[in-house]
Structure 1
């Protein structure tokens, strides 16, 4: 009898499940068009239902793809966000992008840390959770922008804010870990600062090293299949090298996109190609992200979790309003920047995992609360972004 490996038996099931997920995504897309519900929320809900927290229909052979898909999908998103940072856009909206992005991060950090401390959370834990709260889900925001078909200054500014928001968040998180160590009495170690400097600085340098030659190549490849292959090659190389060097693939992808859009002769071609092919990757990414969420963590949310939810929302809105005020944004736009930045996903969970390694005594509180609130923000966040965009679609 022929010996059939376990992996070969998994292949037909994997193909069937992937095909079914694509069809489910198609149905979710159509439902989103008919009901105006964000596709991201629908896809995440499908993932939760089909995943381990629901019917447990997705085999391990498929869920193991999540890490690969997240790197590719988010690098594509970052690449497109970087493509929005043209010289013209920065000249017109640069002040607003910088002011609002910094204000939202700082306000979220202050409001969440102070609020949690006042309700009895140890100061070092409150500080860590506040730093985690600064993270945004760029993929959900970008997809809401695409689905809403909104245009104008509000959208251009929001794209720029989301492009650099997680960079500020990583810096704040590294500083928060160092400060939390000092508060907890475990010493002022600078290792986290060095890691953050490498993750951010290395991402910028790598993005420049990839972006410059890619910009030269983009203007010389004819449109069509060759350009699509080039665009995919840039994204895969960027994601792979960033993961290999342990730098931020989000920031690296953004820098690559920013360099290409400002240096290439036909800068729009590569971005159109990525826009055309990104959806299948994002579709699987969102469904598997939903499948990876532990909906059972919601049962352990408690009063501290509710406080965290409210404080993060308040911090985002206050930060967006203050940043808009400083940058001269219109009074009608100011309340909506923070609302549009409510989605939260993988970056926050990654920060929480690092925090649990640094502070194992508080690991249960930090990780459970982060996962539980991420489930909620991934459900309501895209709807909030979509709502904010519709209120400002012509501004």
Structure 2
């Protein structure tokens, strides 16, 4: 079928699936992902992996908009009030998840490089599905603010931890020394380069927006800025999400009153892109990988889940966060996708060049991450809804509608 027909059909089916799941009180994003699984190679083979690769710019575009919108939520007043809590929680949940997964993997496999690498990947949290649930239920409160901050900052932490893990694993596999450039400089360049690029572009856009009078023109300027930022980030191997998060964060804090409308017009523009994105996420997930997950996959999920939950509770307790944050934040950090999969592919490509041991390591990492992603992408949004519902941060009319349906 022509690609335009395919896009139109999957958009309509995705919306129908999302609404159907919504009627049963399940977040719409789960419906999008399930429809994607059905249309993908796991069931109907309607969306091939080649089609997904050909349309990868749409996936990048969706991630860019998600980064921009998340950045728009990170207002200075929120960091002023909760900043100490955010960084305490970030370090606790990321490092504890890494430690537990690393330890369990090494105990099971006796493979230290594998344990270090899987531990680093476990620290990442996918913002897309998590944030989509928060927007769907229009949640507001300390827990929602903390979730937004943590999923935004988690990618940076994961990149930094991965730099250390990759260098250690590489030294063990190849017998070489530790590479300071890979351990420290490369992650720092990617993180701060992304933030600097986003900051500079946002300054230009903020100046241009002073002269824009209509909402239509506002939309065009904002979309153009996001695409330009994304293109430059891709060209220089910077983080797409962090770059656009910096654009949104800077705009929302430079002139809050004037720039608030920018985020409103963009939010109305992106639903079709989000539906396609999450449907593509589902189409990439392979049901056949679940049986191959094995004990290692189970331990990875358990270690990551316990680490995220216990780490967020510990960090929130130490920093004096509200009770709702301490009790329920861990439930909102299960989703795993983009960054973890991208880094897993990097491991597979790099270590595959070092003989059979390196090839086995790469294959194991890819299989574990791909199989567990299927599981947590379905469970993650449900857990986020549970958390914000228990915290009382869903507006009453939306909560009643969800429970009624």
Please indicate, yes or no, whether the TM-score normalized by the shorter chain is above 0.5.
yes
- Tell me, what secondary structure is at the counterpart of 1:151? coil
How far 1:191 sits from its partner (Å)? 4.0
Task: Tell whether 2:369 aligns with 1:370.
Answer: yes
Q: What is the RMSD of the two structures over their aligned residues, measured on CA atoms? A: 1.7
Are 1:66 and 1:285, in contact at CA under 8 Å, matched by a contact in 2? Answer: no
Which of 206, 211, 225 is equivalent to 2:202?
211
- How many residue pairs are counted as aligned between the two chains? 384
Superposed, which structure 2 residues align to 1:329-340 within 5 Å?
A: 329-340=321-332
How far 1:44 sits from its partner (Å)? 1.1
- Tell me, what secondary structure is at the counterpart of 1:301? helix
Equivalent residue, structure 1, for 2:193 = 202
Cα separation, partners in 2 of 1:217 and 1:121, compared to 1, 3 Å: farther
Separation in 2 of the partners of 1:164 and 1:65?
Answer: 30
Per-residue deviation, residues 9-38 of structure 1 (Å, max 9, x unmatched) = x5xx22222111111122123123311212
Which moved further from structure 2: 110-119 or 217-226? Answer: 217-226
Are 2:41 and 2:48, in contact at CA under 8 Å, matched by a contact in 1? Answer: no
Task: Tell whether 2:273 aligns with 1:284.
Answer: no
Cα separation, partners in 2 of 1:358 and 1:15, compared to 1, 3 Å: closer
Are 2:144 and 2:393, in contact at CA under 8 Å, matched by a contact in 1? Answer: no
Equivalent residue, structure 2, for 1:269 = 261
Equivalent residue, structure 2, for 1:233 = 224
Per-residue deviation, residues 191-231 of structure 1 (Å, max 9, x unmatched) = 42333232212111211110111122223312321111111
Unaligned residue ranges in structure 2 (runs of 5+): 353-357, 395-405
Task: Tell whether 2:292 aligns with 1:293.
Answer: no
Which of 75, 90, 93 is equivalent to 1:86?
75
Which of 70, 91, 94 is equivalent to 2:59?
70
Per-residue deviation, residues 135-158 of structure 1 (Å, max 9, x unmatched) = 111111110101222111111121
Are 2:41 and 2:49, in contact at CA under 8 Å, matched by a contact in 1? Answer: no
Superposed, which structure 2 residues align to 1:103-122 within 5 Å?
A: 103-122=92-111
Unaligned residue ranges in structure 1 (runs of 5+): 1-9
Are 1:137 and 1:346, in contact at CA under 8 Å, matched by a contact in 2? Answer: yes
Which moved further from structure 2: 187-196 or 46-55? Answer: 187-196
Separation in 1 of the partners of 2:48 and 2:372?
Answer: 26
Per-residue deviation, residues 104-144 of structure 1 (Å, max 9, x unmatched) = 11111111111222223411111100111111111111101
Per-residue deviation, residues 19-78 of structure 1 (Å, max 9, x unmatched) = 111111221231233112122221111111111111101256742344211211111111
Are 1:144 and 1:385, in contact at CA under 8 Å, matched by a contact in 2? Answer: yes
How far 1:345 sits from its partner (Å)? 0.7
Which of 316, 319, 344 is equivalent to 1:324?
316
Superposed, which structure 2 residues align to 1:337-356 within 5 Å?
A: 337-356=329-348
Separation in 1 of the partners of 2:33 and 2:332?
Answer: 18
Separation in 2 of the partners of 1:385 and 1:174?
Answer: 29
Are 2:19 and 2:31, in contact at CA under 8 Å, matched by a contact in 1? Answer: no
- Tell me, what secondary structure is at the counterpart of 2:270? helix
Separation in 1 of the partners of 2:81 and 2:163?
Answer: 31
Task: Tell whether 2:188 aligns with 1:189.
Answer: no
Equivalent residue, structure 2, for 1:383 = 382
Equivalent residue, structure 2, for 1:248 = 239
Which of 342, 350, 355 is equivalent to 1:358?
350
Which of 2, 5, 15 is equivalent to 1:26?
15
TM-score by length of 1: 0.93
Which moved further from structure 2: 358-367 or 298-307? Answer: 358-367
Which moved further from structure 2: 236-245 or 216-225? Answer: 216-225
Separation in 1 of the partners of 2:119 and 2:349?
Answer: 17
- Tell me, what secondary structure is at the counterpart of 1:222? coil
Equivalent residue, structure 2, for 1:3 = none
Equivalent residue, structure 2, for 1:148 = 137
Separation in 2 of the partners of 1:198 and 1:67?
Answer: 25
TM-score by length of 2: 0.91
